[in-house]
């Protein structure tokens, strides 16, 4: 008989090895899925992971896109990881991402067609505040009424999607767009555009913000008292109270920080690659960032690497759809496998298998 036995303390080996094992299992079972769809699994995996980087036919386009796709994932995942470390579960980053994009774009469009160097910084502030305010709803409900922040933040995603549709069809709709839904293209409005900092690299201001977030999160978690309080609360809430941690303030900080970073990601996306507010603006970055956060072990450097890996699956997945005819749902399932196996293998960090010959009565 095989039993799971709780370890006296979490295993450092499995804590580090479980993401690697999860990736290997994802490759194996993902390959089986591609085989069942009638595709060559080796060719599919090569197309997803290697061709975007090393095939010169596609690399000129794919390499810059790697940073474009990774930027919002890293930015959102860094914010989520702060709360996750403290046991505060913000599952609604997608909604905060949407609201940040709406608020930031609204500020930029309000100044159209004026040209000023202050417009884009104001959009950045508005985007962060939009995401922060949306995250404060579950934060205040949790601290005042002890509601479940998981349910509230998740349900607010669907509210944000309805607001996005309303704005695309109403207040922010392009008056010169012939009645079609969607705002003006912010990329064509230079004062509000999130331009590449280094041409041809994909390095726009959102990517720079993501790298800054990684550095600041590392400093916060390892060199600041607040980071110690976050880690202590996640490991032992009771000990945190004895240490003087004020749980309500910590909840508001973690949710606010994650909301602000998600809002920034939305602003940089709408002013950059997406270009406009539209009904289908959100593409699931807020949910995918949860995978990135856990794959990176909630560590800033790990999240940076995990974000680049997940961005590679986005780019390679699009390439596989084009080159091999793989359905988009198969690529989404492949990405979902990564979180599934990561959570499954993560059990080994706190439990170990014990073999016994005794029969259960």
Q: What is the DSSP string of 278-341?
A: -TT---SHHHHHHHHHHHTTT-HHHHHHHHHHHHHHHHHHHHHHHHH---HHHHHHHHHHHHHH
Q: Where are the beta strands (DSSP E) in 47-123?
A: none
The residue to which tokens 């016994």 are assigned: 356
Indicate if the pLDDT at residue 358 is higher than 80: no
Indicate if the pLDDT at residue 360 is higher than 50: no
Angle, in degrees to the nearest 10, between helices 247-270 and 285-295? 120
* Among candidate residues 45, 16, 47, the one with its CA nearest the CA of residue 28: 45
Q: How distant is the alpha carbon of residue 173 from its chain centre?
A: 27
Kindly report the number of other CB atoms within 10 A of residue 30's CB atom: 23
DSSP character at residue 187 = G
Mind listing the pLDDT tens digit for each residue in 174-228? 998 888 999 999 999 989 999 888 887 888 999 999 999 999 999 999 999 999 9
- Using CA atoms, how far apart are residues 84 and 257, in angstroms rounded to an integer? 12
Are 217 and 223 in contact, with CB atoms under 8 Å apart?
Answer: no
Mind listing the pLDDT tens digit for each residue in 63-82? 889 999 999 999 999 999 99
Indicate if the pLDDT at residue 359 is higher than 80: no
**Beta strand pairing call for 351-355 and 203-204:** unpaired
Confidence of residue 355 (pLDDT cuts 50, 70, 90): confident
- Using CA atoms, how far apart are residues 305 and 210, in angstroms rounded to an integer? 12
Mind listing the pLDDT tens digit for each residue in 314-343? 999 999 998 999 999 999 899 889 889 988
* Among candidate residues 160, 119, 144, 117, the one with its CA nearest the CA of residue 263: 160
Mind listing the pLDDT tens digit for each residue in 82-116? 999 999 999 999 999 999 999 999 999 999 999 99
- Using CA atoms, how far apart are residues 292 and 298, in angstroms rounded to an integer? 9
CATH number of 61-306: 1.10.3470
Q: Find the Cα–Cα–Cα–Cα dihedral 181, 187, 189, 192, rounded to 10°.
A: 100
- Using CA atoms, how far apart are residues 116 and 191, in angstroms rounded to an integer? 6
**Strand, coil or helix: what is 37?**
coil
Mean pLDDT of the 145-159 span:
96
Partners of residue 4 on adjacent β-strands: 353
Indicate if the pLDDT at residue 285 is higher than 70: yes
**Strand, coil or helix: what is 202?**
coil
Confidence of residue 34 (pLDDT cuts 50, 70, 90): very high
Note the pLDDT of residue 81: 97
DSSP character at residue 191 = G
Mean pLDDT of the 142-146 span:
95
Composition of the chain by helix, strand, coil, percent to 5:
70, 5, 25
Note the pLDDT of residue 137: 98
Mean pLDDT of the 292-305 span:
95
**Mean pLDDT, all residues of the chain:** 92
Indicate if the pLDDT at residue 157 is higher than 90: yes
Confidence of residue 357 (pLDDT cuts 50, 70, 90): low
């Amino acid at each position: 008989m095989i039993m799971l036995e709780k370890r006296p303390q979490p295993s450092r080996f499995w804590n580090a090895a479980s993401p690697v094992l999860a990736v290997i299992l994802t490759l194996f079972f993902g390959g089986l899925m591609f085989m069942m769809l009638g595709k060559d699994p080796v060719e599919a995996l090569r197309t997803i992971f290697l061709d975007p980087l090393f095939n010169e036919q596609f690399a000129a386009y794919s390499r810059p896109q790697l940073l474009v796709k990774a930027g919002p994932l890293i930015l959102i995942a860094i914010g989520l990881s702060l709360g996750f470390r403290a046991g505060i579960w913000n599952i609604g980053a997608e909604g905060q991402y949407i609201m940040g994009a709406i608020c930031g774009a609204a500020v930029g469009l309000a100044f159209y067609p004026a040209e000023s160097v202050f417009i884009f910084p104001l959009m950045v502030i508005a985007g962060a505040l939009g995401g922060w305010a949306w995250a404060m709803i579950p934060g205040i409900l949790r601290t005042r009424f002890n509601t479940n922040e998981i349910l509230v933040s998740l349900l607010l995603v669907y509210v944000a999607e309805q607001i996005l549709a309303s704005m695309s069809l109403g207040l922010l709709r392009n008056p010169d767009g012939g009645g079609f839904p969607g705002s003006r293209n912010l990329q064509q409005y230079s004062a509000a555009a999130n331009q590449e900092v280094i041409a041809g690299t994909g390095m726009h201001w959102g990517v720079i913000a993501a790298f800054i977030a990684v550095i600041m999160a590392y400093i916060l978690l390892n060199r600041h008292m607040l980071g110690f309080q976050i880690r202590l609360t996640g490991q032992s809430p009771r000990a945190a109270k004895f240490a003087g941690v004020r749980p309500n303030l910590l909840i508001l900080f973690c949710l606010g920080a994650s909301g602000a970073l998600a809002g920034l990601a939305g602003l940089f996306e709408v002013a950059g690659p997406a270009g406009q507010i539209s009904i289908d603006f959100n593409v699931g970055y807020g949910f995918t960032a949860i995978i990135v956060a856990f794959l990176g072990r909630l560590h800033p450097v790990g999240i940076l690497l995990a974000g680049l890996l997940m961005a590679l699956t986005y780019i390679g997945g699009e390439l596989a759809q084009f080159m091999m005819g793989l359905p988009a749902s198969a690529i989404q399932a492949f990405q979902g496998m990564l979180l599934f196996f990561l959570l499954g293998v993560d059990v080994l960090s706190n439990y170990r298998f014990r073999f016994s010959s005794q029969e259960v009565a």
